[in-house]
Amino acid sequence: MAEFIGMPDGSGKRLVIVAARFNASITDKLVDGALEACLKHGMRLEDVDVVRVPGAWELPPAVARALQTERYDACVALGAVVRGDTPHFDFVAGEASRGLALLQGEFGVPIGFGLLTCDTMEQAEARAGGAHGNKGWDATVAVLEMADLFGRLDLTDAEDGDAGAA
């Protein structure tokens, strides 16, 4: 039996952060948290690209276009959708989430999910560096772990069958 566990090691990896500009007071903090996590986990800023899109709805097509370049080992999608008085929230949050999930399967590249879906701006602020931490940081650490795990799994094709085992 082999057990495979990834580590949040960004050294030697390339990452794209795709961030919505809508609710910039929140998303800018998520981007800052993501960049801090990159540096803390061995990445160089020159190996990180930040792509800004209008809103959460635009996250999936921008992520798809970035991943089509085959330039990145991982991606982090960041945004904040705050519930309002109309069903707009349900459509945007649900479809953006679904689109990002489908892209992971299509491209085989891990995508960190940093799309906040909150009832209030106060909840979003708490998750963008407030009382609940920074979900941009969390999504980046998780995706670096997954990228490392994928690399370990890829090593199982090497001559030494347990090269990627932890």
Annotated catalytic, 41? Answer: no
Dump pLDDT digits (tens) for 70-100: 999 999 999 999 998 778 888 999 999 999 9
pLDDT-above-70 percentage for the chain: 94
What's the pLDDT at 159?
Answer: 43
The average pLDDT across 55-83 equals 97
DSSP 79: E
How confident is the model over 33-46, as pLDDT tens digits?
999 999 999 999 99
What is the pTM assigned to this prediction? Answer: 0.92
DSSP H or E segment with residue 57: none
- Is pLDDT at 161 greater than 60 in this prediction? no
The SS3 of residue 123 is: helix
pLDDT number for residue 160: 56
**What domains appear along the chain, each with residue ranges and CATH number?**
15-150 (3.40.50.960)
Out of 88, 98, 122, 166, the active site residue is: 88
Beta-strand relationship, 74-82 and 111-118: parallel
